[in-house]
Structure 1
């Protein structure tokens, strides 16, 4: 069952774009690990926040990806840019009104 991980990461003031650059770096490792989507976003309403929406083939694939050397390196690089404010939620996707209509 598809697994979703949706979260917000607080960046230190003025460091949001550096964090976005790390999170949007191309990564074949994520795709190989079972990541279907990894979307990074920002909002003018929250200038020191980065939003991330991840879709995975399953929760186990997401969990296993955290042990990949490239993912560990990105986390270590991003840590000094984080304010410590984080939020989010995880869930198993049960369906979509777009299923079966030819939209990916």
Structure 2
């Protein structure tokens, strides 16, 4: 499995809109085992995206999907930047194989 945990920064006051847009991508992503959007508790403009995929190629392929590209295009104007990014190798857990 392939995991990705990343911090995304919204433009001031736009976090809720960014979260709403990103949650639209939770459906129809082949190979996605887990996709979680969470508010950062210390930064009012930051969110965390935690993903688990069957493999790294599935994640890369998802970025080419039409609905994912459309969502990214809508979100781009309200993304102020990116913070930390971690790639992981999930071993299992609730709802995950292994």
Q: TM-score, normalised by structure 1?
A: 0.83
Q: CA offsets, 1:12-62, max 9 Å, x none?
A: 0000000000111264321xx110010000023110001100000000000
**Residue 27 (structure 2) pairs with residue 28 (structure 1):** yes
**Residue 79 (structure 2) pairs with residue 82 (structure 1):** yes
* 2:2 match: 3
**Structure (1 or 2) with the larger CA radius of gyration:** 1
**Partners of 1:91 and 1:27 in 2: CA distance:** 20
Unaligned runs of 5+ in 1: none
Deviation of residue 89 (structure 1)? 1.2
**Partners of 2:6 and 2:67 in 1: CA distance:** 20
Unaligned runs of 5+ in 2: none
* 1:61 match: 58
Q: How much is the aligned-residue C-alpha RMSD, in angstroms?
A: 1.5
The size of the alignment, in residue pairs, is: 95
**Partners of 1:76 and 1:26 in 2: CA distance:** 12
Q: CA offsets, 1:38-91, max 9 Å, x none?
A: 000002311000110000000000001100000000110110001123321112
